[in-house]
Structures are given as C-alpha cells and as structure tokens.
Amino acid sequence: MSLVEAYQVALGYNQSLLSKQSRLDSDREAIDQAWSQVLPDLSVSGHVGYGEYSTDYVSGETDNFKRGSVNLAQPVFSYQRFQGINKANESVASAELEFKKAQLTTGLQAIEAYIDVLESNTMVEISKQEVADHEIKMKRLEAMLGRGMATKMDMLETQSKYDELKANLSAEETQAQVTRKRLEQLVGVKFDQVMPVPEDMWQRTELWLKRSNWLDDAQVHSILILAAKQALREAQSDVEVQKGEYWPEVTARAEYYGAESYENSIKENAKVLVEMRMPIYQGGRTNSRVSAARSRVQSAQHNVEDQLYFVEVKMEESFSNLTGSYENIQAFKKSLVSADAYLAAAEKGLMYGLRGVFDVLEAKTRLYNTQRKLNAEIYKNLKSQFELLYLVGRFEPDQVASYMKQPEAFLESLG
C-alpha cells in the first residue's frame, strides 16, 4: 500500500467517515422538507359510523352516518417558510463542508500514521542492524579474550551493552506494531506492507521556501476557514427565519365537505377562501428567538476569527518545523560522516591497543543514535509538508498524488 492509496482507502473504509456520510445524507433531506412547507398540502378524511340521537319530537332514534372532506391549502405568502428554504440550503452546505473537513482531516491523520509506520520500521531496522553488528563485535572480543588481547571486564561491558540493545529492539518492535494498528484503524482495512516514500523527499523543503505568500492561499482555500465562514452564513440565515414570526402568513384554501348524517342539514359544501394569520403577541417568544439567533451569529463570527488566527499560527508552526527539520537533517548528515570517521578511528585504535572496547562501543552507539536522529528529522519534515498542503487547502487525494509525482510543477501551479 502506497501513501496515496492509504489516503484513498481511508476515505472509503474509515468507519467514522462512513458514519458521518450517513449523517450527511440525512441532513440533505432538510432541503426537501423545507420546500414541502411552501407546496400544496392536500388531505382527505372520511368517517363512517353508527349513532343514537334524540330531538324535541323523538328520542332514542338510531342512524348510520357517513362524512367525508377534501382540503387543499397553498401558502401564498410566508416569510418564515420561504426563508426556511434558504436556511436549509445553508445548513446542508455547512454540513457538506464539515464532512469535507472530516475527510481531509482523516486523510491527514492517515498519512501521518503511514509516516509513523515508515519511521517505526526504519527504527526497527536500525536497531536490528545495531544488534547484529554488536553480536559480531562480541564474537571478535571472545577471540581477543582467548588471545589475551581483551579482559573479562571488556566482555562484561560488551554483554551489558548487548542486553541493552536487545531491550531497545524489543521496544522498537512493539512501537512498530502500535503504529501499524493505528494506521489500520484509520484506513479501515488490514494491509500487508507499506511502500517507502522517495528518499530525497525532505529536499522539497526548498520548493516551499520559494514562496512567501502561502498564508494568503490558506485564508482563501483552507477547509477550516471555509467551514467556519459557511457556519456563519447558516447562523445569519437562521436570524431571518426567526424574524419571520413577525410577518403575517397568507394561505389559499379549497375545501369540499359531504355528509349523509342525521347531524347535518347540509349534504355538500364546497368553498374557496383566502386566510391571513397575523401574530400580535406570543409572550415574547419571537423576540427571544431572534435574540438567540443573533447571539449565534456573533458566536460564529468569533469562530471565523479564531479559525483565521489558528490557521495563521499553524502555518507559522509548520514552516518552523519544516525549516528546522531541514537544517537539522543537513547537520545530522554531516554528523553521521563524523560519527563514522570516529568509529573507524576507535576500531583502529583498539587493534593497536590505543583504545578500549568501551571506546568502540561508545563510537558505535554515537553512530546509530545519529542515524536515528536523522531519520526522525526526515519523517518530521515529511509530516510538515503534508500538514502545509492541508492548511493551504490543497489536500484532495488527486492533489496529494500530483505532489508525490511532480512536486515542483504542482506547487508552481498553485502560485
């Protein structure tokens, strides 16, 4: 499974997203429900029964009765109902953006989990290599001990270090299993193995640093900001719905009534009428609802400002991590060369009796620890790149695929 495939699979099989998709399908029905409030309302009713009655002239009489009616109502003017359609559209648009945000956020989490798996696998390989290298060193030391070129203390130090390395390897393998399970939970399926990303991907940092106006892109395209702004529009539309209670409602009605009953002298009755309802006083309910809706608008406005600031801070943080890791990678690469040279010198010194076994073990530890730090910075750099794509609103699966294949062309196309 590749990195892009992990993203795509997560969109199709992540259980949390599937749950949100069903909820979105439910929310979309609000538009049809709102339209139904302004469409004709046709109903038919009928009654058939048996009863007893008395009049001034007779008592205890019985009779069968039948009654039926047809009613048609068509709203002609209702500010609240028609604004309800607009509110439903805004609510569905808001729900769709929230779902899109959930998709992109899950995609980012899946990619970060994928990178964690790569990092854990790399750390396990480094630890295995270190353990295997130490086993070779122990065999050599045993031979040297037999020839009197090493002491029992040297052997004990080497064995102690070996036990420590085995414990570290076990911890790394456990962590690798944890990260793998985390990725499986996010993508919603089991997988055999993950494919590596390009080894030089960290060098794409320079492409990001060519532009300085990424924040402008984020403020226009970031899903976090788009969702917050849509929530504001939804809240504003709700104010108009609540204000609709102040307006009169006009409804055209057509009715037909027919009866065969001792209760009615009129056998049939057909009429057409126009009805107007004008609210006068409702105990302050409408004022309270309008006030509450306006407070929700104010809350949504604050949320937009908060998201704008949040994206700005996250952009700065991600760029700091990107540039910091880039500089650290270069530094650790130089340190790796130095650590390798130091190890070679220590091993040579051991051969000539100028260095002890402990010096060689320390040099080995320094080399492998430098490799670990280098890999940790590389994967940190990769996470920062994808987080930036997410923040600037260029994180659809096809966009991530383009970035993986042709990063320079993709980033230039955004400018």
Tell me the CATH number at 362: 1.20.1600.10
Q: Is the model's pLDDT at 264 over the cut of 70? A: no
Report pLDDT for 84. 94
Q: Residue 14: helix, strand or coil by DSSP? A: coil
Which of 2-16, 339-353, 400-414 is the least confident region?
339-353
Cβ(356)–Cβ(154) under 8 Å?
Answer: yes
Q: How far apart are the first and last CA of the chain?
A: 31
pLDDT digits (tens, 9 = 90+) for 7-26: 999 999 999 999 999 999 99
> Higher pLDDT residue, 228 or 58?
228
Identify whether 71 is part of a domain: no
Cβ(356)–Cβ(187) under 8 Å?
Answer: no
- Provide mean pLDDT across the span 87-100: 96
pLDDT digits (tens, 9 = 90+) for 157-208: 778 888 888 999 999 999 999 999 999 999 999 988 899 998 899 999 999 9
DSSP 37: T
Tell me the C-alpha distance between 169 and 131, whole Å. 8
Query: Hey, what long-range contacts does 163-167 have (CB within 8 A, 24 or more apart)?
Result: 165/127, 165/130, 165/131, 165/134, 166/131
Identify whether 130 is part of a domain: yes
> Higher pLDDT residue, 368 or 310?
310
Tell me the C-alpha distance between 212 and 209, whole Å. 7
Identify whether 58 is part of a domain: no
Residue 262 banded pLDDT, cuts 50, 70, 90:
low
Identify whether 44 is part of a domain: no
Residue 134 banded pLDDT, cuts 50, 70, 90:
confident
> Higher pLDDT residue, 362 or 164?
164
Tell me the C-alpha distance between 193 and 190, whole Å. 9
Q: What is the number of residues in the chain?
A: 415
Average pLDDT of the residues of the chain: 89
Question: How crowded is residue 204: how many other Cβ atoms within 10 Å of its Cβ?
Answer: 19
The residues pairing with 63 across neighbouring beta strands, listed in sequence order, are 51
Cβ(77)–Cβ(248) under 8 Å?
Answer: yes
Cβ(401)–Cβ(370) under 8 Å?
Answer: no
Report pLDDT for 402. 94
Stated as kind and residue range, the H or E segment containing 35 is: helix 15-36
How many independent structural domains does the chain possess?
1
Question: How crowded is residue 199: how many other Cβ atoms within 10 Å of its Cβ?
Answer: 8
Report pLDDT for 5. 93
Identify whether 397 is part of a domain: yes
User: What is the full DSSP assignment across 240-258?
Assistant: HHHHGGGS-EEEEEEEEEE
- Residues spanned by the domain of 311: 3-39+78-247+285-414
Identify whether 61 is part of a domain: no
pLDDT digits (tens, 9 = 90+) for 368-406: 899 999 999 999 999 999 999 999 999 999 999 999 999
Stated as kind and residue range, the H or E segment containing 297 is: helix 285-351
Q: Residue 355: helix, strand or coil by DSSP? A: coil
Tell me the C-alpha distance between 330 and 123, whole Å. 19
Q: Is the model's pLDDT at 133 over the cut of 80? A: yes
Tell me the pTM. Answer: 0.85
- Provide mean pLDDT across the span 296-316: 96
Q: Is the model's pLDDT at 352 over the cut of 60? A: no
Identify whether 306 is part of a domain: yes
- Provide mean pLDDT across the span 220-240: 95
Report pLDDT for 337. 87
Q: Is the model's pLDDT at 355 over the cut of 70? A: no
Identify whether 262 is part of a domain: no
Residue 351 banded pLDDT, cuts 50, 70, 90:
low
